[in-house]
Structure 1
């Protein structure tokens, strides 16, 4: 009989089976180290899927949360609060934006972005301008609208009829966009680095081309920076490294450092499309989430901190390259900042999940990005020692994989 009152089998007993979580249950952590119910130690290269930007149990975030929890938790959107206004000011002063809307997740942020684009087009150009261009293998969330915009039919095909007017074209293919865009297009939505689609960075000329096409056709350029935002690429937002400014930007994941929060950033010109009553959320911008996000943002949006992301990127790529020179399992190691994808050679296609499971047995938490890519998205402040330990464990897991 188990010594634990809660066990992994309880998931299968009580939870709707849309996930297949690991066989162990994490219970505590500090930095990029995690311990499970039995005290086993893991190095965390997953970062809660690029969420835990400052690692686990960060003391500054704890303090912000506890201080706010002793004052005010929730009021609803009939009232504003001090932490949300301070957070909005931070984001506006740090980005292209004039206005911000807060919600609870990346999917909600992308939903709001797409609704804003259609509403703006309706207000200014009439009913015929409502089409959206998105990209194959994109991922924008799980709501019906965002899963339709995502270019992965496996996530949407069982939920038809889907929202219409969405056209998918190949990523990094500007000619395909030119052949599709028209006076009916209200928006293009794009990830600067496709995350779930395999960790594939956009070409700078591609994003600049999208900017030019949107200007030419009076369409909004939406950057989905849910995964790339808040320091992940070594810049506060990835658009800053490309020198291409979107009209709307969605943000979530690392914004709260582990506490759920999302939002969109936009300019005064487009913010007018969502007046009173046009959109909303019960929990969005609540004092707890906003206080934690404000503290996380103040720590991450610092030149020295962001330079540390670039330094860690080099450490990761160097270590991964060394492992690959020994084992020859990856055909490509790519990414930006601390969002890195390792694509398996063709003879190992489809086995990224097997590798991540073996890594967990070795004491390493890693991600996949589709069936062929092992993905790492650790805390942005992960220590050198934790990187080295994690790489030793990945090396061991890959050696076991090859023996199988």
Structure 2
């Protein structure tokens, strides 16, 4: 049986991996070895996902976290290389755009192991974002690029990838499979709605964690100010990323919002199912909002998920609190048709078959 090593490190990657791991287990054609770099180490950001979503326990936990980008990526590269030399897989699977993604791809490339990049081809066209650097470098090293959208496919073609000996496949967005599957169980698994007494309330879900927002105090204050303005009309629930929490405390910013601890996947699904609107700088949550038929205000200057904006499901406001309030007012009366097929279907199956094809060539 052929073997793959899957590299995971951050919350959204655990969710995506749960889908593919389940498909791999069902088909029994591939042995999967999971490596957790430790990039997200807080229990609510990491361990809870493996428990809740029945993801196979990582064979390796590298426990690398809370370092600068260079130190983190370097240590991951060293430790992942050791794992790959021991496991000798036919392919390495990486997800998204984190330091774990780049380190996994680099380690595999140096050892001449095939690389599968899931969620390939996304571009913000903002090279000041660490994520943009990570995804571009990972795409260039990969042997199989599993794109989530036609926009992502077009980005790669515009960069000349269709002239390279690399497989490009539009498999659709694996997050769609995750939401469809786990939504069946979330109401039984989560008690958060009753715990926060939100049963009969219209409320807003917000998340805030990207460096360009949290490391710029002026931007951070603007975003918090905008959220506080929304909170006067509808309660804003803000699960606080550990890093964001530290920065708020450092600058003595106390948001007048309902701030809670980071959430497991089922709790977040229930919030998304019941909320009025989503405000976020997370790429994954923009789509999860759409999959749960909710509009989204994007607190960034750009998005990789242009189809959400182009079809009116999301609005980009940056850190401008006034634009945030304007978008909020517009979404109050907007009726969106969420049946538009933007992200494919049976995505896990398509990715699995693409990996089989890669390893058989």
Same fold (TM over 0.5): no
The TM-score, its normalising length taken from structure 2, stands at 0.35
The TM-score, its normalising length taken from structure 1, stands at 0.32
Q: Which one has the largest radius of gyration?
A: 1
